[in-house]
Every structure is written in C-alpha cells, then in structure tokens.
C-alpha cells in the first residue's frame, strides 16, 4: 500500500517486516483486557491487533493517517493527539479502562521514547507493554548484564516492571529505514515493587540527582545535594563505598540510598 511521505520530525519509520510485525503483536498474556497503541502511523500493526478481539484504541499525532486507520478501527477508537500531552488518566476514566489490564503497544517515536516510557510507567492500569527502542536505549533499560550501565531509566523501568528483550530489529525492517538498529522490549508490571507508584516523583527526582554525574565518585556527586554529615552517615549505614561511581551501583544499593536520603 502507498503511504504518505514520511514526516521526519515525527520519527516516521514504519515496519514492513512481517516477522517483526507478528512478533510484536503476539498477545503477552491472556489476561490482557484492552489494547492501546501509540503512534500507529497508517496501521501496520492494526490488522494483527484487531484480530485479538479486544477493545483496541490508537493515539496518533499525524492526521494524514486517518484514511488508513479508518479501514482498521471505528472512528471512536482513533484519537489524534500528541501522546506526550495526552491525559491518559482522564481518558482511561472516560473509556471505562480504570480497572482493565491494558496492553500498550508502540513502535515509539525515538526522539520521545524516554519521556513516553516514564509517562506509561506511572499509569497503573498499563499492565503490559511492547515497546520499540533504538538499540542503545534498549540496552540502557535492560542493563544487559553489563556493569556500569545504571541510570534513572533502568531503575524506574525495572522497579515497576519485569523487562525483557522480545527481539532485535534491523534497519531494513522499516520503511524508510532509520539510521540506527532497534530492539523491542516486553514489560510485565510487577505486583510487588520496591518503591511504590505514589512515590514516583520523589523517587525520580532522587535518581536524577544520583545519576547527574554518573562517572564521578558517589561521595562527590552527593555533596552537590546533601550535607556532608548526612552523606557520611548514610554511606556508613548502608555500607556503600564513597568512591563507587553512581553508574556502578547495584539496584539494591540504589534503593537503599533512596530510602536513607528521602
Ligand atoms: N521507531 C520509529 C518510529 C516509527 S513511527 C522511529 O522513531 O524511528 C512513529 C509513529 O508515531 C508515527 O506514526 C508518528 O506520526 C507517530 N508520532 C510521533 N510523535 C508522536 C506523538 N507525540 N504522539 C503520538 N504519535 C506520534
């Protein structure tokens, strides 16, 4: 099918590889009640997603895709909006999705994938996610077993979700091909979390401080934000080395620091 000219500002790269499309649209769990897709474009995932027989809505920024989407979804399920601005909480109320288990699917626009992910984490109804990232960002979220990869996004994602790699995606799987390799991550919301959703802002703001200078020694970084005796006290109490770099902290250590500094 012929699509409109891709709009680079909106990060438009559409999947054309049927294997990848099939993989992303596999139901993560039978418990999924409803499906929300962000940035469907002309609807390359829509055919598979409609077959899953669950309420399915899309949020897309570019109105040019109306004529394509309408062949897959009824008008009331197509929302034209900027997903970053869009009030999900309010929408879930209006749609009666507050007590539903939502599966969020997105070939995310890469230029806003981090803030969108942060937004989705905070919506407790979103129980599953299948999100496409540029590979570098996917590794930062997964950690990939490497040391020194700790950062805010990893900690936030892994606090609220079990995250795993679904598949790596080559440039050629898209039309037009992007400049970077991609990877899809699967998210399953945890029942038990270290830091509760109610504390999201507080936790995020602490992490922003903690990882503000990832390569500097922890003691030096903390000095920018907390009094010296407090730092000495906490590091002593938590048995964390003042010379460790923030990026090398384990998740456990990050949680311990947060609890003691908050
Ligand atoms: N992974 C690809 C993205 C593919 S298509 C990449 O970034 O390289 C992304 C889709 O999201 C497009 O259909 C685009 O129009 C839509 N989009 C971009 N910004 C959006 C926004 N803020 N809200 C909703 N949809 C958006």
Average pLDDT in the 213-228 region?
93
In a domain, 2, yes or no: no
pTM of the predicted structure, to 2 decimals: 0.94
One domain for residues 227 and 169: no
One domain for residues 41 and 156: yes
In a domain, 3, yes or no: no
| Confidence band of 2 (pLDDT split at 50, 70, 90) | confident
Q: Are 166 and 22 in contact (CB under 8 A)?
A: no
What is the number of domains present in the chain? 2
Strands 182-189 and 34-38 come out as unpaired
Ligand 1 centre and the CA of 9: distance in Å?
9
Domain stops at, among 136, 167, 189: 189
One domain for residues 201 and 184: no
One domain for residues 27 and 151: yes
Q: Which helix (H) or strand (E) holds 72?
A: none
Q: Sign of torsion, CA 173 178 183 186?
A: negative
Give the binding-site residues of ligand 1, using a 6 Å CB cut-off. Answer: 10-14, 38-39, 41, 59-62, 82-84, 107-110, 112, 132, 178
pLDDT for the residue 147: 60
Q: What is the CATH number of the domain that holds 136?
A: 3.40.50.150
When mean pLDDT is compared across 6-20, 125-139, 162-176, 225-239, the lowest value belongs to 6-20
Q: Give me Rg for the CA atoms of the chain.
A: 20
Choosing from 38, 61, 72, 113 the residue with most ligand 1 atoms within 8 A of its CB, the one to mutate for a pocket test is 61
- Among left, alpha and beta (phi > 0; psi -120 to 50; other), residue 120 is alpha
Q: Are 172 and 156 in contact (CB under 8 A)?
A: no
pLDDT for the residue 145: 61
Q: What is the pLDDT of residues 43-72, one digit of tens each?
A: 999 999 999 999 999 999 999 999 999 999
CA–CA–CA angle 62, 65, 69 (5° rounding):
130
Q: What is the pLDDT of residues 84-140, one digit of tens each?
A: 999 999 999 999 999 999 999 999 999 999 999 999 999 999 999 999 999 999 999
Q: What is the CATH number of the domain that holds 236?
A: 1.10.8.100
One domain for residues 78 and 99: yes
Backbone angles phi, psi at 158, to 5 degrees: -80, -20
Q: Look up the domain containing 255 and give its range.
A: 197-261
Nearest atom of ligand 1 to the alpha carbon of 15: 4
Ligand 1 centre and the CA of 243: distance in Å?
41
Strands 78-80 and 161-169 come out as unpaired
Is the pLDDT at 146 greater than 80? The verdict is no
Average pLDDT in the 204-230 region?
94
Taking CA atoms only, the protein residue closest to ligand 1 atom 18 is 10
One domain for residues 164 and 49: yes
Distance CA 139, CA 180 (A): 13
Residue scoring higher pLDDT (143 or 132):
132
């Amino acid at each position: 099918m012929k699509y409109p000219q891709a709009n680079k500002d909106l990060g438009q790269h559409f999947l054309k590889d049927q294997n990848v499309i099939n993989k992303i649209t596999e139901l993560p769990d039978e418990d999924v009640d409803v499906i929300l897709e962000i940035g469907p474009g002309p609807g390359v995932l829509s055919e598979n997603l409609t077959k899953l027989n669950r309420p399915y809505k899309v949020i897309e920024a570019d109105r040019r895709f109306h004529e394509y989407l309408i062949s897959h979804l009824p008008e009331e399920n197509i929302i034209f909006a900027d997903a970053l601005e869009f009030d999900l909480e309010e929408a879930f109320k209006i749609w009666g999705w507050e007590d539903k288990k939502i599966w969020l699917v997105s070939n995310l626009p890469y230029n806003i994938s981090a803030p969108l992910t942060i937004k989705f984490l905070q919506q407790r109804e979103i129980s599953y996610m299948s999100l496409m990232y540029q590979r570098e960002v996917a590794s930062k979220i997964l950690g990939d077993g490497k040391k020194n990869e700790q950062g805010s996004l990893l900690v936030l994602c892994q606090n609220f979700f079990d995250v795993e790699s679904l598949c790596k995606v080559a440039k050629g799987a898209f039309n037009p091909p992007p400049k970077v390799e991609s990877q899809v991550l699967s998210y399953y919301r945890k029942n038990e979390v270290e830091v509760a959703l109610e504390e999201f802002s507080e936790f995020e703001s602490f992490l922003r401080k903690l990882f503000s200078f990832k390569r500097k020694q922890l003691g030096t970084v903390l000095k920018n934000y907390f009094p010296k005796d407090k730092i000495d006290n906490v590091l002593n109490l938590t048995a964390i080395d003042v010379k460790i770099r923030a990026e090398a902290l384990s998740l456990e250590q990050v949680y311990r620091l947060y609890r003691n500094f908050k």
